[in-house]
C-alpha cells in the first residue's frame, strides 16, 4: 500500500474542498478544479484535510492510491499558489510574442509557429532574455503544454539551439575536427 496515499491532504483555510458523486471539487483564491476519483479509491473531507482510503476488495490499487493523493494535493497547491514553467529559446533569429490568445514563435522554420493558448493558462514572453513563462492552476496542463512547445524545436546537442526548460543542462557533443586525419584516418607525409 502507498505510504504517500495514507497522508491526509492539508486544506488551508482559504480553500474549500467538497466531494460529490465520487468527484473532488477544490476552490481557492485562484480558481476551481475538479478530479474524478478512480474505482476502488474513496475520499472524505474532515478535520481540515482530505483523507483517502482504498475500498476493501480493491486489489492492485496501491499505486493509484498514491497517485490520486498527489493529484488532489496538486489541485490544492494550484488554487492557492499556481504553477509555472519557464522555457528558454536560444538560436539566431529565434523569437516569439504573445498576442491575445495566441503564441507566435519564429524558430528557424520557413513559417511562424502559431499556437492557441488554452483557457486557464497565461503566457508571458520576455523578449530580452527570450524566455517564455507558462503559468496556471492545473499542474498537469501547464507541464503538458510546456512539453508540447519544447517538442516543436528540441535543443540540438552540437550548438545547443532550440527550446529547453530554464536551468536545463544540454550535454554538448564535439563537432568534427577541422585539422587532422584525412580519408581513412591516414595523414599524408
Domain containing residue 147: CATH number: 3.90.930.12
Q: Per mean pLDDT, which range of 11-15, 17-21, 23-27, 59-63 is the poorest? A: 59-63
What H or E segment, with its residue span, contains residue 72?
A: helix 62-80
The arithmetic mean of pLDDT across residues 43-60, rounded, is: 82
What is the Cα gyration radius of the chain?
23
Q: Are 17 and 28 in contact (CB under 8 A)?
A: no
Same domain for 30 and 87: no
* Residue in the block written with cell 514563435: 105
Q: Is residue 46 part of a domain?
A: yes
Quick one: DSSP state of residue 182? -
Q: Is residue 186 part of a domain?
A: no
Domain span holding position 10: 3-80
Same domain for 10 and 36: yes
Same domain for 103 and 36: no
Query: pTM score, two decimals?
Result: 0.83
Walk across the sheet containing 23-28 and list its strands: 16-20, 23-28, 31-36
Q: Is the pLDDT of residue 7 over 90?
A: no
Quick one: DSSP state of residue 91? S
pLDDT category of residue 72 using cuts at 50, 70 and 90: very high
Same domain for 108 and 74: no
Amino acid at each position: 500500500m502507498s505510504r504517500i496515499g495514507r497522508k491526509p491532504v492539508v486544506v488551508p483555510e482559504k480553500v474549500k474542498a467538497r466531494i460529490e458523486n465520487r468527484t473532488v471539487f477544490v476552490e481557492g483564491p485562484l480558481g476551481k478544479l475538479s478530479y474524478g476519483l478512480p474505482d476502488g479509491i474513496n475520499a472524505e473531507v474532515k478535520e481540515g484535510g482530505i483523507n483517502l482510503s482504498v475500498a476493501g476488495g480493491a486489489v492492485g490499487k496501491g499505486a493509484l492510491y498514491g497517485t490520486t493523493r498527489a493529484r488532489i494535493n496538486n489541485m490544492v497547491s494550484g488554487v492557492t499558489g499556481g504553477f509555472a514553467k519557464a522555457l528558454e529559446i536560444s538560436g539566431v533569429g529565434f523569437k516569439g510574442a504573445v498576442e491575445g490568445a495566441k503564441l507566435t514563435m519564429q524558430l528557424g522554420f520557413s513559417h511562424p509557429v502559431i499556437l492557441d493558448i488554452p483557457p486557464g493558462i497565461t503566457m508571458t514572453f520576455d523578449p530580452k532574455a527570450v524566455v517564455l513563462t507558462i503559468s496556471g492552476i492545473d499542474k498537469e496542463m501547464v507541464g503538458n503544454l510546456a512539453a508540447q512547445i519544447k517538442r516543436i524545436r528540441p535543443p540540438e546537442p552540437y550548438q545547443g539551439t532550440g527550446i529547453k526548460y530554464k536551468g536545463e543542462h544540454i550535454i554538448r557533443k564535439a563537432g568534427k575536427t577541422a585539422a587532422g586525419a584525412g580519408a581513412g584516418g591516414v595523414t599524408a607525409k
